[in-house]
Amino acid sequence: MYRGRLERDLSLWVGKGLLGQETATTLLAEYDGRPASFSLGRVLMALAAVLLASAILLVVASNWEAIPRLVRVGVVLALIWVVHIAAARMLARGATAAAGGLLVIGAMSFGGAISLVGQMYHLSGDEQTVMYLWFAIATISAILFRSGAVTVVAGFLSWASFAVYLQNYDTHWVGLDPWMAPVMAAITIALVRYTDAERARHLAYLLLIGWLAWLYTLYEEIAVALAFAVGGMAAVVLAALPLPRIASLVRTAGAAPAFYSFLVAAIGFLLLHIEIEGGWRLVVLGVATLAASVLAIALHGRDNGAVRYLAYMSFAAEMLYLASVTVGSILGTSSLFLFSGLVVALVAWLVIRLERRFSANAQGERA
C-alpha cells in the first residue's frame, strides 16, 4: 500500500519537475531494497514452529509414564539444546526466519520442560511461578539471540501470566503479584526496542490498558476514573513536549505512546460518564471531554493519524451524547435526530478545517 502511494508521489513530483527521473528511480529502488516489515513466509514459519513445539510436547506427554525418568530429562534438555544450537547456526548463515522459528520452539519447550519436570519430581511451586520463570527464560533468549520472534512469545507470556493470576485469585488483589503485569509490560517494551520487534509493543500497551481496566473493576470509584482521564491526558501532553530524551523515545516508538495514552484518557472519560448521570458535573465533564479531544488533535493530530481519528470519534460521541441528554428531554425524537444531524455536520466542518490547517502547516514547513 505504501509503496504504491510512494510510486504515485514520485511520478507526480517528476511530472512537476520537482524531482529527476533518475533520482525517483533510485529512491524507489532503495525502498524496495529494505527488508519487508511484514513477511508471509516469516509468519508461516512462526506458526509452523508453534505447531511443531506443541506436537513434540504432546507426544512426550502422552508417553511420559512409559519413558524412564533419566531419559525424560535427557529428551527435554536435548530438545532445548538442539533447537538453540540450530538457531545459532541459522543466524550465522543469515537465515533469520528459520532461526526465529527454532527459537520459538525453544522458548515453548522451556515452558513444557519446567512443567513436566516439576510434575515428574513433585517439585513445590504453582502455575504462577511457572509463568514467571517461563517469561524470564524467554526474555533471556530474546536478549541473547536478539530475536523479535521470541520477543513476541514473551509478550504473549506476559498476557498468559496475568490471565493465570486472575484465574487463581478470582480477580482479587493478592500480595505483590498484580504488579508483575506492568513490570512484564515494561520488560516487553525494552525487548521491543532492543530486538526491533515493532509490532510486539502493542502487546505491552494493551496489557497495561487491560491491567488498568481490571483496577477499575476492583474499586469502581470516580477517583479511579478521574485518575485515568487526568493521567492519560498528562501522558499525551508529555509525549508532545520538545524535551530531548522524551522526544527521541516517542519518535522511535511511533504513534503508539500518544495513541494509547489518549485511549486511557478516553476510557477514563467514558467511566466518568457512567458514574456521573446529570447536573452541573455532567456539563463540566462534557466540556472537559471536548477540550481533551481538541487538545489531543492540536498536539498530535497533524502527524498521528491514530490519535486524530480517536479524538474525532470522542468529540463527535460527546456532542451527540450531550445533545441526547439536553435536547432529548425537551424536543421529540424527530427534532432530536435533526439536531444531532446538525451537530454531526458542525463536527465534519471543524474536521475539514483542521485537516486543511494541517496540510497548510506541512506545506509551510517544507517551504
Q: What is the DSSP code string of 261-297?
A: HHHHHHHHHHHHHHH--SSHHHHHHHHHHHHHHHHHH
CA distances from 367 to 121, 145, 360 (A): 72, 45, 11
Distance CA 269, CA 224 (A): 11
Q: Torsion angle, CA of 236/240/241/245, rounded to 10 degrees?
A: 100
pLDDT of residue 184: 93
Contact 107, 150 (CB under 8 A): yes
pLDDT of residue 38: 46
Q: Is the pTM of this model over 0.85?
A: no
CA distances from 50 to 7, 95, 100 (A): 37, 18, 11
Closest by alpha carbon to 105, among 158, 72, 159, 145? 145
Q: Is 264 exposed, middle or buried (0-12, 13-18, 19+ CB in 10 A)?
A: buried
Those residues with Cβ within 8 angstroms of residue 99's Cβ, 6 or more apart along the chain or in another chain: 87, 88, 90, 91, 145, 147
Distance CA 111, CA 133 (A): 8
Q: Which DSSP helix (H) or strand (E) runs through 330? A: none
Distance CA 290, CA 316 (A): 9
pLDDT of residue 8: 75
What residue spans define the domains of the chain? 69-218, 223-356
Question: What is the rounded radius of gyration, in angstroms, for the C-alpha atoms of the chain?
Answer: 26
Query: What is the separation, in whole angstroms, between the first and last Cα of the chain?
Result: 27
Contact 151, 200 (CB under 8 A): yes
Distance CA 44, CA 81 (A): 23
pLDDT in tens, the chain (367 residues): 555 666 777 777 777 777 777 777 777 777 666 555 545 556 566 666 666 666 666 665 555 566 666 776 677 777 778 888 888 888 888 777 778 778 888 888 777 677 666 665 554 557 788 888 889 988 998 898 888 888 988 999 999 899 988 888 877 888 888 899 999 999 999 998 888 887 788 888 999 999 998 988 888 788 888 999 999 888 888 887 776 666 666 666 667 788 888 899 999 999 888 888 777 788 788 888 888 888 888 778 777 778 888 888 888 888 777 777 765 554 455 555 566 566 667 766 776 676 666 566 655 555 5
C-alpha cell at 339: 439536531
Q: Cite the DSSP H helix spans in 196-332.
A: 201-219, 222-240, 244-253, 256-275, 280-300, 305-326
C-alpha cell at 117: 519436570
Contact 296, 261 (CB under 8 A): no
Residue with cell 510510486: 7
pLDDT of residue 321: 79
